[in-house]
Amino acid sequence: MPEEALIVVDMQRDFMPGGALPVPDGDRIIPRVNEYIRRFREKGALIVATRDWHPDNHISFRELGGPWPRHCVQNTPGAEFVVELPADAVIISKATEPDKEAYSGFEGTNLAGILKEKGVRRVYICGVATEYCVKATALDAVKHGFEVYLLKDAVKGIKPGDEEMAIREMEEAGVKILPSL
Ligand SMILES: [Zn+2]
What digits encode the pLDDT tens for the residues 47-94? 999 999 999 999 999 999 999 999 999 999 999 999 999 999 999 999
Confirm whether 10 is a catalytic residue.
yes
Mean pLDDT by 10 residues, the chain (181 residues): 93 98 98 98 97 98 96 98 97 97 97 97 98 98 98 97 98 97 88
Q: What separation in Å is there between the alpha carbon of 161 and the centre of ligand 1? A: 21
Q: What separation in Å is there between the alpha carbon of 41 and the centre of ligand 1? A: 27
Of the residues 27, 52, 72, 94, only one is catalytic, namely 94
* 67: CATH: 3.40.50.850
Overall domain count for the chain = 1
Confirm whether 43 is a catalytic residue.
no
CB–CB of 123/149 below 8 Å?
Answer: yes
Q: What separation in Å is there between the alpha carbon of 69 and the centre of ligand 1? A: 9
Of the residues 14, 52, 126, 133, only one is catalytic, namely 133
pLDDT of residue 167: 98
Domain that holds residue 143: 4-178
Scored b (16 or more CB within 10 A) or e, 65-104 reads eeebebbbbeeeebbeebbebeeebbebbbbbeeeebbbb
pLDDT of residue 96: 97
pTM of this structure: 0.97
pLDDT of residue 2: 80
User: How many residues appear in the chain?
Assistant: 181
Q: What separation in Å is there between the alpha carbon of 71 and the centre of ligand 1? A: 6
pLDDT of residue 1: 66
Confirm whether 88 is a catalytic residue.
no
Neighbours of 62 (CB within 10 A): 10
Q: What separation in Å is there between the alpha carbon of 149 and the centre of ligand 1? A: 23
Q: What separation in Å is there between the alpha carbon of 77 and the centre of ligand 1? A: 15
CA distance 101 to 88: 27
